[in-house]
Amino acid sequence: MSALKFEILAKCSRTNARAGMISTIHGSFDTPAFMPVGTRGSIRGLTPEQIKSTRSQIILANAYHLMLRPGPELVAELGGLHKFMGWDGPILTDSGGYQAFSMADINSVDDEGVTFRSIVDGSTVHLGPERAIEVQNLLGPDIIMAFDDCPPAVDIDGQDDESGNIKTRPVVNPADYAKRLQVAHDRTIKWLARCKDAHKRVEDQSLFGIIQGGTDFSLREKAVEAVCNIDLPGYAVGGVAVGEGPELIRKIVEHTAPLMPWAKPRYLMGVGYEKDIIAAVQAGVDMFDCVLPTRNGRNALAFCKSERLHLRNSQYKADPTVIEKGCSCLCCCGGFSRAYLRHLFASKEMLGPILVSIHNIHHFQSLLLDIRKAIREDSWPSLERDWPVLEATEARPVSTDTLT
């Protein structure tokens, strides 16, 4: 018996896109779905009511951060993450693998997991498959992620990492990198079986496996086979959006997603901009999370259907219009002008980041609503007409990290 029910309600006639619904004991959410990120059990500055106003149906939190503070035992004692943060809808947590491998001050990595220094109190912390699942069992979200070996992205060609998200990005030669990916692959499969064994709350929490493989297509294929051979309620594509650029992400996803089981939810971790999401939906992906709307919102960048607004720019100094005409978010409906928002950012007033975060999450949820409509009605051309930004060229997407 699974704690999760996935129904595919419509599929596209020309692409692999599908629209459906995922039900959990904390309610259901429509797919394709976008999950805003509440790293430490809070989507920065937003009340659950404000999150709901964005039409978000499921949110993501980070087991890594909540493990370090306030600790999963405490969250469990207080009734679990839903009650703790006042969000009664579905929640997904990632396992902490990505953060432990890419951001922590690592002491050692071996077949038992990773040992690192806590960013909170400097203590030594061990995270392996069993503890990662125990942490998520204690936190109590509806969907939990397997603990995988997720080696930090490296810079094969010696170019700078523009995303700024990778703590260390050593230049390595391709052969060494391939070897490290192979180790990661083997460990990930072994750890997945251990995660499944360690999972104690199958009746109300659904464990998703993660498909790694970096940019190596044949390794991705092997990972799909090995990971999906272990029967789980859903599967994710991990290890993208770690600095490899949107074109390569697109190719990886287009290659990998169709190989995954049709009847199970497919989750692309940490992606992305609007057009990255569209491409992945067309490859058959059902779930997304990204810090873009909130992190950029806090930095005064507002997403619109046809443009990006850098609200600190002087051109908005006396602009009486809202971020986007016709937008139904609390910020635009509240009548807050670009000039007022610019003033809030200039004055370092918290209300600026809050209002633009609300608008930006609402923007992504509008896109997902329109995507689901396009799948149901087979109307992709109208989606592209309504969303001129889908044609725009962007900087590379950012990955999920602490800076949410």
List contacts with a copy of itself (CB under 8 A).
40-42, 44-50, 65, 69-70, 74, 77-79, 83-86, 317-318, 320, 330, 334-337, 339-340, 342-344, 346-347, 349-351, 353-355
Structure tokens at 212: 């790694």
Residue 79 or 261 having the CB closest to a copy of itself: 79
Residue 13 or 347 having the CB closest to a copy of itself: 347
Q: H or E segment at 92?
A: strand 91-94
Rounded to whole angstroms, the Cα distance separating 276 from 237 reads 14
Residues with active-site annotation: 94, 289
- Cβ at position 396, least distance to a copy of itself in Å: 27
DSSP reduced 3-state for 228:
helix
Select from 117, 271, 141, 258 the least CA-distant residue to 201: 141
- Cβ at position 50, least distance to a copy of itself in Å: 8
Residues 6+ away with beta carbon under 8 Å from 340: none
- Cβ at position 105, least distance to a copy of itself in Å: 19
- CA distance readout (Å), 166 to 100, 160, 254, 351: 12, 11, 25, 29
- Cβ at position 191, least distance to a copy of itself in Å: 28
Residue 347 or 393 having the CB closest to a copy of itself: 347
End-to-end CA distance of the chain: 35
Bridge partners, 60 (sequence order): 37, 92
* E strand intervals along 154-233: 206-211
Rounded to whole angstroms, the Cα distance separating 298 from 280 reads 26
- Cβ at position 291, least distance to a copy of itself in Å: 15
Residue 286 or 324 having the CB closest to a copy of itself: 324
Residue 342 or 372 having the CB closest to a copy of itself: 342
**Residue matched to tokens 């490899």:** 244
